[in-house]
C-alpha cells in the first residue's frame, strides 16, 4: 500500500513539473513556422511573441536552431518586436540544408526564451523546374529532335525537287 502511494505521489510530482514547464514556456512566449514542411531553398514565415516582462520590446527576437538550418553558427535573422512583443520574418532555407526535422527557437535580450517550433525540410528539387525547356523536363527529347530534323530534311528535298522540275 505504501509503495502504491509512493508511486502515485511520484507520478503526480512529475506531472506537475511537466505542466509547470509548459506553463512557463507559454508565459515566455510563442513561435510558429509556416509552412511546417518546406523543401531546401524554400521560404518559411516565422512569427511569434516574446513576453515583454522577460525581454524589453526594444530588444529584437533572433531565431536560432541547427547550424545546417541557420549557417554558419545556428543564429538566424533577427526581427524587431512591437510593444506587445510580437515579431515576424520570412526566411529562405539554404539549398544546402539536409532533409530532416529542425527545432526553431528564439533568443531575446541575450538569452534563450525557451520556446520552439519544428520545421521539416524535405529534399529540394534537383535542377530547375520541369518546364520542358533546357533539358530539365522528365524523359528524353531525343526522339522529337530526330523527328523534327527529319521533317526539315524532307521539306528541303521537296523544295529542291520542285525547283529542278521548273527549270527548262
Domain contains 15: no
pLDDT score, position 90: 97
pLDDT score, position 148: 72
Domain contains 43: yes
Sites in the chain below the pLDDT cut of 70: 1-26, 124-145, 168
Number of domains the chain is built from: 1
pLDDT score, position 9: 36
Domain contains 123: no
pLDDT score, position 18: 34
**CA–CA gap between residue 41 and residue 114 (Å, rounded):** 27
Answer for the pair 67, 77: CB distance below 8 angstroms, yes or no: no
Q: Is the pTM higher than 0.75? A: no
Q: Where are the alpha helices (DSSP H) in the chain?
A: 2-28, 142-166
Helix (H, G, I), strand (E, B) or coil at 137: coil
- Between CA 75 and CA 116, with CA 73 as vertex, the angle to 5 degrees is 40
Amino acid at each position: 500500500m505504501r509503495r502504491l502511494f509512493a508511486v502515485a505521489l511520484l507520478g503526480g510530482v512529475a506531472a506537475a513539473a511537466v505542466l509547470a514547464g509548459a506553463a512557463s514556456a507559454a508565459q515566455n512566449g510563442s513561435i510558429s513556422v509556416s509552412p511546417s514542411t518546406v523543401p531546401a531553398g524554400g521560404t518559411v514565415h516565422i512569427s511569434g511573441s516574446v513576453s515583454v516582462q522577460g525581454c524589453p520590446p526594444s530588444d529584437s527576437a533572433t531565431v536560432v536552431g541547427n547550424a545546417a538550418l541557420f549557417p554558419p553558427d545556428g543564429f538566424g535573422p533577427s526581427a524587431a518586436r512591437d510593444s506587445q512583443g510580437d515579431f515576424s520574418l520570412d526566411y529562405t532555407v539554404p539549398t544546402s540544408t539536409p532533409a530532416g526535422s529542425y527545432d526553431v527557437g528564439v533568443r531575446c535580450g541575450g538569452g534563450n526564451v525557451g520556446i520552439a517550433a519544428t520545421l521539416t525540410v524535405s529534399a529540394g528539387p534537383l535542377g530547375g523546374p520541369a518546364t520542358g525547356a533546357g533539358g530539365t523536363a522528365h524523359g528524353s527529347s531525343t526522339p522529337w529532335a530526330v523527328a523534327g530534323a527529319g521533317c526539315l530534311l524532307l521539306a528541303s528535298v521537296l523544295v529542291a525537287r520542285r525547283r529542278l522540275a521548273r527549270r527548262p
